Amino acid sequence: MWRRIRRELYLLPRGEQRALIVLSFLLLASLGSRIGVQSLPGREPEGLEEFVAESRRILAAAALADSLERVRQDSVWRARQDSTWRTRQDSLARYARNKRYASNQHSAPSRISIPLHAIELNSADSAGLIPLPGIGPVFAGRIIRYRELLGGYHRTSQLSEVYGMKLETVKLIEPFLTLDTSLVRKIPVNEAAFRQLLRHPYLEYNDVKAIVNYRDAMGMITSLEEIREHALLADSIFERVQCYLRE
């Protein structure tokens, strides 16, 4: 947890880092003053007991009135729900009758087709992803944001890395997707700054530190295989990130 906090703090601009430090100091000072005030001996003003008793009576009356209003609103809500439920049941019954009638009119059942064209995942906007089965505005936005972090999708299976995305949903939409991997943005490993490398979701702080230290010591990385050969990254991480790096 501390490593993640340190990483997020390091990524902030210097001005925001100073502001965060000042805010932390002010919070600590406020907490200290509050503890000090609470430790002071308390003095109850005259007439406090009468004030508390009167306040309790007022609150009790307000709670009673609120309870009565809540009961009335619940009754109205239940009546509306019952009406809505009956309307839906009638609609479903009509739909079932129409479906049975249509099936009796045709000897062979018709295949249901989804009116979707292939969607190119690395160039589509969020509105273009919403027609996909199981994808609404929330997931469409998450897919686009994760694409920006990655630099583009290299495999459709990477959609399972999107927050909240289930593997079943990925398998459901894969037939309607295409990928243009030439649109993937690659990071120049010899020119990229520390922060630019650290922003990639596949690289941790220690991974970036190992790459930058090796680059500074050797002058430059002539081939991505050097990263594997010198064990700068774990094999599992290198396999995932190599398609996003270039010399």
User: Same structural domain for residues 169 and 203?
Assistant: no
Domain boundary among 152, 183, 214: 183
Angle between helix axes 205-218 and 2-11 (nearest 10 degrees) is: 60
Instruction: List beta partners, residue 119.
Output: 177
Q: What is the mean pLDDT of residues 220-244?
A: 92
- 77 within some domain: no
- 65 within some domain: no
Half-sphere exposure of 236 (CA within 13 A, CB side): 1
Q: What angle do CA 180, 131, 168 make, to 5 degrees?
A: 80
User: Same structural domain for residues 192 and 232?
Assistant: yes
- 237 within some domain: yes
Position 179 scores a pLDDT of 93
Residue 122 confidence (pLDDT) above 90:
yes
- 106 within some domain: no
Position 35 scores a pLDDT of 74
Chain-wide mean pLDDT for the chain? 78
Highest mean pLDDT out of 65-69, 95-99, 121-125: 121-125
Q: What is the mean pLDDT of residues 188-210?
A: 94
User: Same structural domain for residues 194 and 177?
Assistant: no
Position 28 scores a pLDDT of 78
Residue 100 confidence (pLDDT) above 80:
no
Cα end-to-end span (Å), the chain: 32
User: Same structural domain for residues 123 and 178?
Assistant: yes
- 145 within some domain: yes
User: Same structural domain for residues 158 and 195?
Assistant: no
Tokens of 246: 């270039």
For residue 234, the enclosing domain spans 187-246
Position 89 scores a pLDDT of 61
Which is more confident, 228 or 79?
A: 228
* Amino acid at position 124, single letter: A
Residue 106 confidence (pLDDT) above 50:
no
User: Same structural domain for residues 132 and 176?
Assistant: yes
**Residue 156 is part of a domain; what is its CATH number?**
1.10.150.280
Asked whether the whole model's pTM tops 0.75, one would answer: no
- 214 within some domain: yes
Which is more confident, 113 or 98?
A: 98
- 31 within some domain: no
Position 32 scores a pLDDT of 73
User: Same structural domain for residues 123 and 174?
Assistant: yes
Domain boundary among 162, 183, 204: 183
**Model pLDDT for residues 147-179, shown as the tens digit of each residue:** 999 999 999 999 999 999 999 999 999 999 999
Position 234 scores a pLDDT of 93
The strand pair at 177-178 and 119-120 is best described as parallel
Q: What is the mean pLDDT of residues 232-244?
A: 93
User: Same structural domain for residues 194 and 237?
Assistant: yes
- 235 within some domain: yes
Tokens of 240: 């995932």
Number of domains in the chain: 2
Domain boundary among 134, 163, 183: 183
User: Same structural domain for residues 179 and 192?
Assistant: no
| Residue 130 buriedness (CB in 10 A; 0-12 / 13-18 / 19+) | middle
